């Protein structure tokens, strides 16, 4: 969506980002956390995150993608078995590619299949002496639906496993306080390893992992992407602390976000658009068409309607499907929502009429 964001939207954030940059510069501290890149501020930040998501301890990592890959690599050995949702993000899949033990996938949110894989995994770890980890997401970033955390947690009564949840899209947006999808479903305490990034609700850089103190202590000294790479720069840390403070002290931004989300999603559905089963601010609009049509359509949206959104085509989605993924924010207005819905109606009509099907179509002709 086109954004009305300006300096009046988040003056507190802009102020702290600027002041921290002036105080520390862009690069300080140098080195990895384990060597020379630690600070009292980042440790204080970790304590605040632990309190917010209801976990014993937290480690902040420099980037989400490499952070979660490295955490998966550190937590598993060849004796362990992983059971994971088929729609897990690429960072999880890449982390699992480094796993030397067994891994079993279950169809997206299919709890019956998840249990079947747990039975298989249980037999294997009885022989290997290893353990089982179940990995899923709080909110799936492509379709916007929630992971079935409640039913997965219920399986703990029958099987022994640790639950690892990537809640990148749930942190700050889901639950009464914004503590995430576990809070939304009433199972936050049963999430053994909670992961999220600052790149979504906090519009920043970095990520964090929260769990029991002994797990976090282990990760601090065993995640290769952190012990051999530079820590987060101090301006990012201080800026993230301010963002977290705003999340903790008020639900105003979250409430405004959901006002925009509800208006956008209900408005699109009323005009006949297919949004799948989204349960979050992630808003996929599913259309029929090929890659070349998608390219012309997205250019039309950007150049004629001044509206930006992500476009997803094959092989991420089936052939002849175009998915336009909208991410509304608290900085958008209801006027932005109406403008977006009207634009989508117009480009959808053009798509149905075959306007975008001409491969030689030039921008000026659209």
- Give start-end residues of each CATH 3.90.1150.10 domain in the chain: 252-365
DSSP for 38-61, written as a single string: --HHHHHHHHHHHHHHT-SEEEEE
Angle at 106 between CA 104 and CA 112, to 5 degrees: 120
- In this prediction, residue 365 carries a pLDDT of 59
What pairing do the DSSP bridges indicate for beta strands 132-137 and 102-106?
unpaired
User: 252-365: which CATH topology?
Assistant: 3.90.1150
- When mean pLDDT is compared across 6-15, 112-121, 190-199, the lowest value belongs to 6-15
- When mean pLDDT is compared across 4-13, 163-172, 196-205, the lowest value belongs to 4-13
Is residue 172 pLDDT above 90, yes or no?
yes
pLDDT bucket at 130, cuts 50 / 70 / 90: very high
- In this prediction, residue 3 carries a pLDDT of 44
Is residue 5 pLDDT above 90, yes or no?
no
Which long-range contacts (C-beta less than 8 Å, at least 24 apart) are formed by 210-216?
A: 210/49, 210/50, 210/53, 210/55, 210/56, 210/57, 210/58, 211/55, 211/56, 211/57, 212/55, 212/56, 212/57, 213/56, 213/57, 215/57, 215/75, 216/56, 216/57, 216/58, 216/59
Tokens of 195: 């992961």
User: 11-249: which CATH topology?
Assistant: 3.40.640
What pairing do the DSSP bridges indicate for beta strands 81-85 and 57-61?
unpaired
- In this prediction, residue 363 carries a pLDDT of 56
Q: Is 112 helix (H, G, I), strand (E, B) or coil?
A: helix
- In this prediction, residue 119 carries a pLDDT of 98
Give the containing element (helix H, strand E) for 239: helix 234-249
Calculate what percentage of the chain has a pLDDT beyond 90: 89
- When mean pLDDT is compared across 133-142, 263-272, 316-325, the lowest value belongs to 316-325
Per the prediction, the chain carries an average pLDDT of 93
Summarize pLDDT for 340-359 with one digit per residue, the tens.
Answer: 999 999 999 999 999 998 76
The C-alpha atoms of residue 43 and residue 176 are separated, in whole angstroms, by 26
- In this prediction, residue 358 carries a pLDDT of 77
- When mean pLDDT is compared across 27-41, 122-136, 195-209, the lowest value belongs to 27-41
Angle at 182 between CA 176 and CA 186, to 5 degrees: 70
Instruction: Tell me which DSSP letter residue 30 carries.
Output: P
Instruction: Tell me which DSSP letter residue 163 carries.
Output: E
Q: What is the mean pLDDT of residues 190-206?
A: 96
Angle between helices 90-97 and 64-75 (to 10 degrees): 40
Return the residue matching tokens 């709890």: 111
- Give start-end residues of each CATH 3.40.640.10 domain in the chain: 11-249
pLDDT bucket at 93, cuts 50 / 70 / 90: very high
pLDDT bucket at 34, cuts 50 / 70 / 90: confident
pLDDT bucket at 16, cuts 50 / 70 / 90: very high
pLDDT bucket at 4, cuts 50 / 70 / 90: very low
Q: What is the mean pLDDT of residues 34-45?
A: 93
With a CB cutoff of 8 Å and minimum separation 6, the contacts of 306 are 2
Is residue 317 pLDDT above 90, yes or no?
no
- When mean pLDDT is compared across 90-94, 168-172, 183-187, 361-365, the lowest value belongs to 361-365
Give the containing element (helix H, strand E) for 288: strand 283-288
């Amino acid at each position: 969506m086109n954004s009305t964001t300006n300096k009046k939207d988040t003056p507190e954030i802009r102020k702290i980002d600027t002041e921290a940059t002036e105080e520390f510069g862009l690069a300080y501290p140098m080195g990895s956390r384990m060597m020379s890149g630690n600070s009292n501020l980042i440790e204080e930040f970790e304590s605040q995150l632990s309190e917010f998501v209801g976990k014993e301890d937290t480690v902040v990592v420099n980037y989400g993608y490499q952070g979660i890959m490295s955490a998966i690599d550190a937590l598993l050995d060849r004796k362990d078995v992983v059971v994971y949702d088929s729609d897990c993000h690429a960072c999880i899949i890449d982390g699992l590619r480094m796993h030397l033990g067994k891994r079993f996938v279950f169809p997206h949110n299919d709890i019956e299949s998840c249990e079947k894989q747990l039975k298989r995994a249980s037999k294997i770890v009885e022989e290997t002496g290893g353990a089982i980890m179940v990995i899923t997401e709080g909110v799936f970033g492509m379709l916007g639906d929630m992971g079935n955390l409640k039913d997965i947690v219920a399986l703990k009564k029958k099987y022994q496993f640790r639950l690892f949840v990537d809640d990148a899209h749930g942190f700050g947006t889901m639950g009464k306080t914004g503590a995430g999808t576990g809070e939304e479903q009433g199972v936050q305490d049963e999430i053994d390893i909670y992961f999220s990034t600052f790149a979504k609700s906090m519009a920043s850089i970095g990520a964090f992992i929260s769990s029991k103190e002994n797990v976090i202590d282990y990760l601090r000294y065993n995640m290769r992407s952190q012990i051999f790479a530079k820590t987060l720069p101090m301006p990012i840390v201080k800026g993230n602390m301010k963002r977290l403070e705003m999340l903790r002290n008020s639900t105003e931004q979250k409430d405004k976000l959901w006002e925009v989300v509800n208006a956008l999603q209900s408005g699109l559905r009323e005009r006949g658009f297919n949004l799948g089963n989204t349960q979050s601010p992630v808003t996929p609009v599913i259309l029929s068409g090929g890659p070349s049509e998608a390219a012309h359509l997205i250019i039309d949206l950007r150049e004629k309607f001044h509206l930006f959104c992500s476009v997803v085509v094959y092989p991420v989605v089936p052939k002849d499907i175009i998915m336009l993924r909208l991410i509304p924010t608290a900085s958008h207005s209801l006027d932005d929502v109406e403008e977006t819905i009207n634009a989508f109606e117009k480009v959808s009509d053009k798509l149905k009429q075959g306007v975008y099907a001409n491969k030689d179509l030039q921008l000026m002709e659209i």
